[in-house]
Amino acid sequence: MWKQAPGKRKLEIQAQQRADLRKRGNMAKISIIGGGSWGVALASLLYRNGHKVTVWSALEAEVEMLRRDREHKMMPGVKLAEDILCTDDDRTAVEGQDLLVMSVASSYTRVTARRLSGLVAPGQILLNVAKGVEEGTLMTLSQIIRQEIPQADVAVMSGPSHAEEVGRGIPTTIVVGARSRETAEYIQGLFMNEVFRVYASPDILGMELGGALKNVVALAAGIADGLGYGDNTKAALITRGITEIARLGTAMGGKLETFYGLTGIGDLIVTCASMHSRNRRAGILIGQGKTYEEAMDEVKMVVEGVYSAKAAMELAEKYQVQLPIIEQVNQILFAGKNAEQAVRELMLRDKKIEVSEAQWEL
């Protein structure tokens, strides 16, 4: 169920923002906070939609690369237009923007939000597009952002969407979640075009849990690939993996429908099946005998599933649910367990009934 964004003053500010946007002919001023591959892909998409786009990075070298080459080295061929501003100046990126798109790795979400908090105006919309759960606090990324920037109107966007394909204009469908329908529909309008379809949802928690936990299951799928297993194994991991994600997610308050939608099973399928997936690629290397540190070094990108795996088990303990696949991934990552042994233990678990609520005829 949608909730009204809190505070009369915040609603007045948002209404004025919408009015200002209409006066400018639907062109919005949008800053991408984070200059990695996903940020660059979304910057390119939003620019093609007619918006004024700024890309911010905390890394001076990354900003210089984007200015010089007009593309990210991790995603060659996706060019930034010359009039997209690339900057490391905080004020330039935040002040006066209609939308801030937070696209930094989950492990940097809190420090980045804290850094920019003082510049964010009351009611300014901040859309988080990263995925993860913070170790220790067990907070989702939107919860972290709301804690650090309480004056922001925080929304999330998630779904099966590899940056490499979005940057190339390959048809993609995704979901935006917000506390108010108005905010969700506003963001929908900014992003949607003939190759990027956006649905809306009030279930922010379910969306975020699906996006974070699927990365852990994708590590398992990659490990199975690295061990040389086949399509039967992959299908089993995807199917039982979404069951685990939904089991924990509904226990925490997410909606079951969300986990069987784009931000649940949809995102899980694409992450487990594609070589664009850094989690699957890291899993393959782990299945071949490398440690998770060696795998991350070889992938050369942040492997979010490694950071979410421990948090997932802490949440499972807190909410008293079983996550056998995710538990075995943790054992492989952090306890040195042999991957083949982990698979054997999964296969030899006690006999279960798949559909627990179905009734036998006899």
pLDDT for the residue numbered 119: 98
Instruction: Point out the least confidently predicted range of 4-8, 136-140, 235-239, 288-292.
Output: 4-8
pLDDT at 20 over 60: no
Q: Taking residues 47-63, what's their average pLDDT?
A: 96
pLDDT digits (tens, 9 = 90+) for 223-246: 999 999 999 999 999 999 999 999
| Predicted local distance difference test score (pLDDT) of residue 24 | 46
The answer to whether 198 touches 175, Cβ cutoff 8 Å, is yes
| Overall CATH class of domain 206-347 | mainly alpha
Is 267's pLDDT higher than 60? Answer: yes
Report the pLDDT value the prediction gives residue 32, as an integer from 0 to 100: 98
Residue with the larger pLDDT of the pair 53 and 345? 53
Confirm if 120 and 150 have CB atoms less than 8 A apart. Answer: no
Q: What is the mean pLDDT of residues 62-83?
A: 93
CA–CA distance, 43 with 61 (Å, rounded to integer): 18
72 near 66, Cβ under 8 Å?
Answer: yes
pLDDT at 22: 45
79 included as an active-site residue: no
Q: What is the pLDDT of residues 323-361, one digit of tens each?
A: 999 999 999 999 999 999 998 888 888 778 887 778 888
Q: Give residue limits of the domains in the chain.
A: 8-202, 206-347
The reported pLDDT for the residue numbered 46 is 97
**pLDDT at residue 358, as a whole number:** 80
| Residue in 266, 244, 264 with CA at minimum distance from that of residue 330 | 244
Distance, CA of 129 to CA of 172 (rounded, Å): 15
37 HSE (CA, 13 A, CB side)? 19
pLDDT at position 1, please? Answer: 66
Q: Which two tokens stand for residue 66?
A: 């984007």
Which residue in 10, 131, 214, 255 is the catalytic one?
214
Characterize 203-224 residue by residue with b for buried, 16 or more Cβ atoms within 10 angstroms of its Cβ, and e for exposed.
Answer: bbbbbbbbbbbbbbbbbbbbbb
How far, in Å, CA of 20 to CA of 334, rounded?
52
Mean pLDDT of the chain: 91
Among 19-23, 31-35, 110-114, 165-169, the range scoring the smallest mean pLDDT is: 19-23
Question: In this predicted structure, what is the pLDDT of residue 270?
Answer: 95
Greatest CA separation for the chain:
72
199 HSE (CA, 13 A, CB side):
16
Give the separation between CA 91 and CA 39, rounded to whole angstroms. 18
Chosen CATH of 8-202 out of 3.40.50.720, 3.40.30.10, 3.40.50.1220, 3.40.50.2000: 3.40.50.720
pLDDT at 66 over 80: yes
pLDDT at 347: 84
C-alpha closest to that of 173 among 157, 186, 187 = 157
